Amino acid sequence: AWKRGYLLHGPPGCGKSSLVAAMANHLRYDVFDLELTKVSDNSELRSLLIQTTNRSIIVIEDIDCSLNLTGDRAANPSSSSGAGKRSWSRRRRQHRDDTDDFQDDDNDVGRRVTLSGLLNFTDGLWSCCGEERIIVFTT
């Protein structure tokens, strides 16, 4: 089982989608366009990705707009004046919160798709599900 991941970056109209279409045509792969803003949490993301077929290209467009990649950092700015230990414990707490999103707990009202959840599927524990997949992220 293998996976490849690519990040395509460029202004609108520069050919990112055309490149994905050409890859799919040349390799005779199915294309799955995943809209992360429509996925409610990591559990739903996992079930959607497991449903994709082998020999497929999974496209996640505008990854930089789909996930809150910088919001947590902006909300919790760290200062250099002795806050290293507190900052580390905040990161550990955030990591625990992100990994808890994979558990099926219906009482968790703050569930969302996280970068940790996405990375767990692309190269973590859930990456062994399926074969010959290409994952393309665009910005």
Provide the mean pLDDT of the chain.
Answer: 74
Q: Which residue has the tokens 């930089």?
A: 64
| pLDDT at 54 > cutoff 60 | yes
Instruction: Average the pLDDT over 40-59 and give the result.
Output: 89
CB 41 within 8 A of CB 67: no
Across 12-16, 69-73, 92-96, 111-115, least confident range? 92-96
Angstrom distance (rounded) from CA 46 to CA 39: 10
The domain 3-70+83-138 is classified under which CATH number: 3.40.50.300, 3.40.190.10, 3.40.640.10, 1.20.1050.10?
Answer: 3.40.50.300
| pLDDT attached to residue 87 | 42
| 117 confidence band (pLDDT: 50, 70, 90) | confident
Domain ranges within the chain, ordered by starting residue: 3-70+83-138
| pLDDT attached to residue 129 | 62
Considering the entire predicted model, what is its pTM? 0.66
SS3 of 69-87: the string is: CCHHHHHCCCCCCCCHHHH
Cα–Cα nearest to 94, from 80, 109, 75, 122 = 75
Higher pLDDT, 99 or 33: 33
